[in-house]
Homo-oligomer: A and B are copies of this chain.
Amino acid sequence: MSGVEALLRWLDLAGIAVFAASGALVASRKQLDAVGFIVIAAVTGFGGGTVRDLLLGRTPVFWLRDPALLAVASAVAVLVFFTAHRVENRFRALLWADAVGLSLFAVLGAEIALIAGAPPWAATLLGVATATFGGVLRDVICNEIPLLLRKEIYALAALAGAATFVLLRMQGIWRDPALLAGMAACFSIRAAAILRGWSLPAYRARPGRHHPDRD
């Protein structure tokens, strides 16, 4: 395994750990039991890649082929179960770790889709799905409207990262610099959004207008 391969392997496990931790923190807010922590951690960590694999027809899906991934997600879930109440300021730390996971998964997800034969526009989208749908499934199962749909420059950062990677690859740029450039694009946009509080305008009904319910 080359140095870059080894680094990516570690980043991949780190990305799963981070997303698993975000899932376990939502489980702590919902006061689930230990099984619930593990299920939500796994869904958050693997959900995006699972959706990508299913849409492409890459089965068995990736986490059924590598027990280390599930071991990492479960260990993180158990750790959070026993320590979540002790950690102050954990949401801020998580926010930054999550930005690393987002950057990594957007780019690696797009690469897997390209290798599976998806056209560039579809590979870009599947990169975004890999990076974001774990969180969507986490929120749907926990009965919340997905954070992705309500807040901030999140999906857009993933889109920028995946698109940068795919465009560079289409231009014949080697894989490793393209991966790094894509991750940098995603991470810098997301970091700016966190630091400056950027967010997309939400839809607001105009005052004085009523929105009759459809039913």
Contact = CB atoms under 8 A, between A and B. Distances in A.
Counted per complex, copies of this chain come to 3
Contacts of A143: 140, 143-145
Interface string A6-41: 000000000000000000011111111111110110
Interface string A196-211: 0001111111100101
A123 to B, nearest CB: 9
A164 interface: no
Contacts of A175: none
Contacts of A60: 55-57, 118, 122
A142 B144 CA distance: 8
Interface in A33-51: 33-37, 39-40, 50
Interface stretch (A146-154, A165-173, A180-188): A146-154
Contact of A203 (B37, B121, B200, B206): B37
B201 A150 contact: no
Contacts of A56: 59-60, 64
Given A33-B202, A203-B84, A206-B85, A148 B91 contact: no
Name, among A60, A85, A144, A201, the residue most crowded by chain B CB atoms within 10 Å (CB to CB). A60
Interface residues of A, number: 67
A36 B136 CA distance: 11
A26 to B, nearest CB: 8
Interface in A126-178: 126, 136, 140-151, 154-156
A32 B25 CA distance: 23
A107 interface: no
Contacts of A91: 212, 214
B31 A204 contact: yes
Contacts of A144: 143
A54 interface: yes
Given A28-B203, A33-B201, A61 B55 contact: yes
Contacts of A203: 27-28, 31-34, 37, 81, 84
B39 A202 contact: no
